[in-house]
């Protein structure tokens, strides 16, 4: 499997309501940082995560975080 595409060399800040979300792990979605189905055939799958508290989240845009879907600073090493 190839490396994911770096959609953005930094996080997406999103205020999220409680609910389930699909974070794009392949980097090819046009609806970053969320999955839009573009991963088809890439071997990547979206990461499902659940938000229980409405607040601002920092979601990984570089697709290299070890704590996906959240930014862990790995984008600083690209």
Site residues (vs ligand FES, CB under 6 A): 10-11, 24-26, 28-29, 35-39, 44, 46, 60-62, 64-65, 71-75
CB 33 within 8 A of CB 69: yes
Closest CB 17 distance from ligand FES, rounded Å? 21
Which residues, in sequence order, are CB contacts of 46 under 8 Å at separation 6+? Answer: 22, 23, 24, 25, 34, 35, 39
Closest CB 41 distance from ligand FES, rounded Å? 11
Closest CB 76 distance from ligand FES, rounded Å? 7
């Amino acid at each position: 499997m190839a490396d994911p595409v770096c959609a953005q060399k930094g996080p997406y800040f999103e205020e999220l309501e409680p609910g389930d979300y699909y974070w794009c792990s392949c980097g090819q979605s046009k609806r970053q940082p969320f999955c839009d189905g573009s991963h088809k055939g890439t071997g990547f799958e979206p990461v499902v995560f659940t938000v229980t508290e409405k607040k601002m989240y920092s979601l990984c845009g570089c697709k290299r975080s070890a704590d996906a879907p959240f930014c862990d600073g790995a984008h600083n090493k690209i």
